[in-house]
A and B are shown apart, each in its own frame.
Chain A
């Protein structure tokens, strides 16, 4: 069975600081990887995804993530965070078995950006 670990449960940063949120998954086969974001009072939104190709993927609002297959990792990064990035961030993985997309989520990282 696949699983996802997000190491940082709560992160507090000042505006303009750099962000890196860790995500590791356990599954030996081919995977699709996702980061979703949930802003206060809003529903889960797709931030970025990796299916294949260039392991460095860029998403919305200046976010990017790097897939490192040897480390089973898909860390999320942003060079300079803004107050509006305050949200909960979820990493998710889908084992590519050809049977559709059944996501396994991490427990989430609550990011607070202070002015």
Chain B
């Protein structure tokens, strides 16, 4: 059983650029969530995808968008990068079953630096 993987590990962009981060879910999981973790803070929920549809969104602007693919891998896209977007971006996958609570398993994250 493979865990959650993310790519790239590190990324440096300049203000105004666009970035795409990628995530491969743990085998058998059908739900993926993305979080932003600023330095010294806990992770903040960006959004969640279930069966390729957005299933909840946190307090992030529309320039943060995502996709989930049929194989349950996922992308996080951020347009018009701002300095404050510099953070560790975490992907978490889980198996959402009807009527049951699910547990999220996290990947190692992508460290994004915006200059």
List A residues at the B interface (Cβ < 8 Å). Answer: 4, 32, 34, 36, 42-46, 49, 51, 90, 92, 94, 96, 99-108
Contacts and interface: CB of A to CB of B under 8 A. Distances in A.
29 contacts: A4-B42, A34-B103, A36-B106, A43-B106, A43-B108, A44-B43, A44-B92, A49-B103, A90-B43, A94-B101, A96-B101, A99-B55, A99-B56, A100-B31, A100-B48, A100-B102, A101-B104, A102-B48, A102-B56, A102-B58, A103-B35, A103-B43, A103-B104, A105-B35, A105-B42, A105-B44, A106-B42, A107-B40, A108-B40
Interface residues of B, number: 27
A86 to B, nearest CB: 17
B107 A43 contact: yes
Contacts of B33: 101-103
A45 B42 CA distance: 14
Interface of B: 31, 33, 35, 40-45, 48, 50, 55-56, 58, 90, 92, 94, 96, 101-109
A24 B59 CA distance: 22
Contacts of A51: 101
> Across chains A and B, which 3 residue pairs bring their CB atoms closest together, nearest first?
A105-B42, A44-B106, A43-B108
Nearest to B104: A101
Could you say which of B40, B56, B104 has the most chain A C-beta atoms within 10 Å of its C-beta?
B104
Nearest to A38: B106
Nearest to B94: A101
A90 B44 CA distance: 12
Contacts of B101: 32, 51, 94, 96, 101
A97 B102 CA distance: 12
A44 to B, nearest CB: 4
A106 B41 CA distance: 8
